[in-house]
Structure 1
């Protein structure tokens, strides 16, 4: 299958030619075209101070080294650079170690600039910066730059650090069994967490800077030899085509590179779990890391990925199969619960057992609103309580949402605004929506629920059928980087049914998903199925 081809919306979104994109790529709002590096050290420092508005967090340290008293300046930003690294591996090396006799003998054979670059610094990464843009970008990335009087080039040393959140358990994807580490806001830390799990030289990643002002670090990671090369090219092209002032979270990237904008269903998966990213990389997907957020994007994705959890592969297959079926049951309850009640109580009373129908009629005797208005009021109230519980401080958020729901439901029933049966339906629907592992898919279901309620209130069960057919048709039309969204059901791929709705034993995972990975399809030997141990008598006979 050709990945990234026949995507009319995305092709229309690219308003500029590829040549214009290449000319514009990398442009920043602080590129004035008038600033450039000088041979004079003081002129360079003056330009740096002017460019940053004399910000007090930009630290400039000037001193002299060598027997010829060469003037050198060290520049870094407090909070972005690690002070200990700057002090121990840069300043100490330049100010104290260069005063020894060995330095005088070594520097006599080369220039002071080359000696600092090749011998003086004890940091891991050292690079030469030849333009003004690279100098500013290096400083604001947390590096320490060394300027030498008389040279138009600058030395950049990697001292990135500062305060950051440590590795913690993911808050949005909690598991009972499995690793407890999660991504943080540092892109370097996040990449290292994946590398710890895939110790292979074929794990490649590419970095780029997106955002004219923010210059945010973005990286794409894939396993060379497993991933489809056309998919890598398409992801790289879409990210490079982004022209925006700032990128602050992976949601910016997700919205700007997705195939279909006008769809409530997510077509790019996000996760906080390194083990989930590693597992999907081995299936041929691409991970997109964005500096400043713990949420990593995975592409391409399918509809069934949003009902799977990384914990599914750490328990027995029969238990997880039952749990997955339960998730799909909860999905249909949250999707159709209020609509089925509205259609049955309004148009199709003959489908309700007579004793239950009498009880429902007695409850609704003094209710002034039709079933649709009743359900709409309760659903909106429930969504308000859920949103308030999220935004309130954690200590009181859960208490407010639980107590508010109980008090509101009881008061509404006693006031004769809604019936007790409607409170039960809305409560079950709300609880079932929490069973979906992916938060963005659960939100889509909650929004579509109101649309189906309208169809049910107008046409009854016929409206539910019509709306469901429209939604299914929309799902089948979606693509994620050229991959059908409903795969492996539409199109039906029998070899991939082992991990779609059901979860078969791990020894049956002989091949990778066929539409995603087209290289090295086989990932497991065929003789790994467990068998009973041989008896001693059988062994002796052999």
Structure 2
């Protein structure tokens, strides 16, 4: 159990592990293009096999069509309309005009003339190796090869069917923006860039996955984010050596601090406004191509009880709702355990009338309180998962009807007491209050541990469990930042956005342990306080 109290899992060095891709000393020599067009096409066909979605369009360009060339693209990932209008038509017709032919004075000028004068596409790059060519080809770009030249051109032509910007389903709000991230990385970066007209917003690109070659963007504000945390994030991403990344959850598992803790140390969201607010606090966002969920680090415990609408409503409303979330967290974690402990070991704590009522309800129930709670909790978890996996049109209705029918039937059959059904129902409803699905799952896991401790040792077991839980939370780190900050270590200035949320004019500084430079949000918070006009 020593791992339970460790601050951070230390990775032991092992010489047998493969080195990071950016630190490899010896690598295979890159296969370069040849001057023969047919040789290059044949090499590409051998590497890609009989892939029917790879299109080879051989054409002739130049005056009287004396130069052989080939356009290669991936069907379904390439915008064939723009390829036809702005590339093929230009090369096969406009390029044969005399005014363009007179500009080619030397043989090696052909590539430059094509790139600078002929092809009317915004993004064009030179290419000399097969590895880079295949990566670009399978990403949706068009490859243009010419006979007699050992280099080609990458023509930007990515286009595929994708989901448009819509309202987030997992993180809904009453008041606030209705837009959410999509599966397109460039659309997501544009949604963040649209909120910042600041040149200090930096986006560093990386490619992770030997086979999937997934594009990743690390986003932060240069003069606000902690340079040490930015360096640590980039280092952990560079150390990933895996064949494929399919979702941001794969990245989260590979870069998180604690592997065995039930509590998440990397926050994820599909709301651009949440990412923008995190960047203004000095946090770092990690965007992964192919998923609408963006990772935010460092992620702290109290961050999982915050919702975007806390800052859009009046501060008093936001504070009450946030306190309600913390109360729901305590109920969801401890309610069944407290009921088991009191009814099993500490009946004297109950008023006589309530004790008599509970005794009457439990008359004829064959199971102890712990077994009752365990049966009801497992049944409700099954119903919850069934409601998620079933079609949405009937999923929620099925869960509600199933819980109501099973609970009523169990009470009438004398298997479960009515009070236990009430306690489990309140616990289940409280678990839905959490804005974060990851934190709700952690509470669901720990609830069974506290139930077992309560059934074994009563309130003493619950107390031991709470002490162990607090020690574990205080030992966690998220990219070097204490997980329980600003509560442990305690920081008075950061309490304005922890258990409650103060008005905007009171939030004059950023979180101290996250952003240690440019810490001031507004210079004079007193002057920002709203006040009625003086007569």
Instruction: Please classify the TM superposition score into its range, dividing by the shorter chain length.
Output: over 0.9
TM-score by length of 1: 0.94
Q: Which moved more, 1:368-377 or 1:61-70?
A: 61-70
Question: Aligned partners of 1:387, 1:509: CA distance in 2, in Å?
Answer: 40
Give yes or no for the alignment of 1:435 onto 2:433.
Answer: yes
Which residue, out of 471, 483, 486, partners 1:485? Answer: 483
The correspondence for 2:328, drawn from 323, 330, 335, is: 330
Matching residue of 2:89: 92
Out of 161, 184, 187, the position equivalent to 1:186 is 184
Match in the other structure for 2:48? 52
Task: Answer yes or no: is 1:76 the counterpart of 2:73.
Answer: yes
For 1:429 and 1:15, how far apart are their aligned partners in 2?
Answer: 49
CA distance in 1, matches of 2:72, 2:433: 52
In the alignment, is residue 340 of structure 1 matched against residue 338 of structure 2? Answer: yes
Which of 101, 105, 110 aligns to 1:104? It is: 101
User: Partner residue of 2:533?
Assistant: 533
Aligned match of 2:159 in 147, 158, 161?
A: 161
- Contact 2:30-2:131 within 8 A present in 1 as well: no
CA contact (8 A) 1:335 1:445 kept: yes
Quote the Cα distance in structure 2 between the aligned partners of 1:391 and 1:18: 39
By how many angstroms is 1:132 displaced? Answer: 1.2
- The 1:88/1:7 distance shift into structure 2, 3 A limit, reads farther
* Cα deviation code 1:22-71 (max 9, x no counterpart): 344998xxx8x684311111111111112111211111111111116211
Measured after TM superposition, the shift of residue 524 of structure 1 is 1.1
Which residue does the alignment assign to 1:41?
Answer: 37
Equivalent of 2:58 in 36, 40, 62 = 62
Contact 2:30 2:130 in 1 (8 A): no
Q: Alpha-carbon deviation of 1:111?
A: 2.1
For residues 228-267 of structure 1, the aligned pairs below 5 Å read 228-267=226-265
Q: Is the 8 A contact 1:39 1:150 kept in 2?
A: yes
Contact 2:73 2:140 in 1 (8 A): yes
Partners of 2:180 and 2:270 within 8 A in 1: yes
CA drift at 1:105: 2.6
Say if 1:514 and 1:521, in contact at 8 Å, map to a contact too: yes
Q: How far has the Cα of 1:15 moved from its partner?
A: 5.9
State the aligned residue count: 526
- Would you say the 8 A contact 1:26–1:212 is kept in 2? no
1:395-414 superposed matches below 5 A: 395-414=393-412
1:116 shift after superposition: 1.2
Indicate yes or no: 2:22 matched with 1:22. Answer: yes
The C-alpha deviation readout for 1:194-213, integer Å capped at 9, x for no partner, is: 00111211111111111111
Asked if the contact 1:25–1:240 (Cα under 8 Å) also holds between the matched residues in 2, the reply is no
More deviation, 78-87/300-309: 78-87
Give, in whole Å, the separation in 1 of the partners of 2:176 and 2:350: 45
Equivalent of 2:274, from 273, 276, 288?
276
Unaligned runs of 5+ in 2: 1-5
Q: Summarize the alignment of residues 167-246 of structure 1 with structure 2, pairs less than 5 Å apart.
A: 167-246=165-244
1:369–1:266 Cα change, 3 Å: same
Give CA-to-partner distance per residue, 1:76-128, whole Å, 9 cap, x none: 11111222222222222222321333322333466221111222222221111
Report the equivalent of 1:3: none
Q: What is the CA–CA distance in structure 2 between the aligned matches of 1:470 and 1:518, rounded to whole Å?
A: 31
Instruction: Answer yes or no: is the 8 Å Cα contact 2:184–2:291 preserved in 1.
Output: yes
Cα distance in 2, alignment partners of residues 18 and 317 from structure 1? 51
Structure-to-structure mapping, 1:310-389, within 5 angstroms? 310-389=308-387
* 1:116 aligns to 2:114 (yes or no): yes
In 2, distance between residues paired with 1:525 and 1:424?
Answer: 52
Distance 2:420 2:88 in 1: 71
Task: Provide the secondary structure at the position in 1 that maps to 2:191.
Answer: helix
What SS does structure 2 have at the residue aligned with 1:12?
coil
Deviations 1:240-298 (A, max 9, x none): 10111110000000000011101000000000001110110111111001111000000
Deviation sequence 1:173-200 (CA, Å, 0-9, x none): 0111111110011111111110011121
Quote the residue 2:521 is aligned against.
Answer: 523
CA distance in structure 1 between the partners assigned to 2:32 and 2:21 by the alignment = 24
* RMSD over equivalenced CA pairs, Å: 1.9
The CA distance in 2 between the partners of 1:286 and 1:49, in whole Å, is: 42
Cα distance in 1, alignment partners of residues 426 and 347 from structure 2:
21
| Aligned equivalent of 1:419 | 417
How do 1:285-304 residues align onto structure 2 when only pairs under 5 Å count? 285-304=283-302
Contact 2:8–2:477 under 8 Å retained in 1: no
User: What is the CA–CA distance in structure 1 between the aligned matches of 2:283 and 2:192, rounded to whole Å?
Assistant: 14
Q: Distance in 2 between matches of 1:366 and 1:15?
A: 64
Alpha-carbon distance in structure 1 between the residues aligned to 2:207 and 2:24: 13
| More displaced 10-residue stretch of structure 1: 95-104 or 428-437 | 95-104
Matched position secondary structure for 1:199 = coil
Contact 2:32–2:128, Cα closer than 8 Å, also in 1: no
Equivalents in 2 of 1:23, 1:171: separation in Å?
41
Matched, 1:127 2:150: no
Question: How far 1:231 sits from its partner (Å)?
Answer: 1.0
